[in-house]
Amino acid sequence: MNDSASDPPRDEADLVNFRSAARRLGGDMDDYLAVVEVFLEDVGSARTKLLAAGSAERRQLVAISHELANSFGVVGAERAERLARAVERGLRDGQSLDVAATAAALMRELAGVESMLRGFVSGMHAKAAGAMAPGGTDGSLG
């Protein structure tokens, strides 16, 4: 296992599987960083949709859950993706779900994923700035 400074951070609290997500993009951390930044730009929209979920029709909730599952999957938020997919499946199968509780659970996952990804982006930008500074390092171990 390679633990060089260029590796993505280790998973924390099962929120984001950085390694898996980066691998799906061919291991290119610049590509992954770009995907994460798009996700973070869209967080406000996702939050608004979740807040409105309590008054949404069933088919709208299916669409919201599907969209969230895809977004979570792209950035490696596997637990959140599983939750959103389970909600989507349950709604499609006609299961009775507590919409408010379900939306709150998705909102908690979204908040945790957002926080972790913002930290990741900050760290990547700080690392890049350090590598470009006079006397900075490229982040490699050797």
Query: In terms of pTM, does the model score above 0.85?
Result: no
Provide the mean pLDDT of the chain: 81
DSSP 91-123: HHTT----HHHHHHHHHHHHHHHHHHHHHHHHH
Q: Which long-range contacts (CB under 8 A, 24 or more apart) does 139-142 make?
A: 139/5, 139/6, 140/4, 140/5, 140/6, 141/4, 141/5
Task: Map out the domains of the chain as residue ranges.
Answer: 18-123
Task: Give the pLDDT score at 60.
Answer: 81
Select the CATH number that applies to the domain covering 18-123 from these four: 2.60.40, 1.10.720, 3.10.450, 1.20.120. Answer: 1.20.120
Cβ 35 vs Cβ 75: under 8 Å = yes
CB neighbourhood size of 139 (10 A): 13
Q: Write out pLDDT tens, residues 47-100.
A: 898 888 766 677 788 888 999 999 999 999 999 999 999 999 998 998 888 877
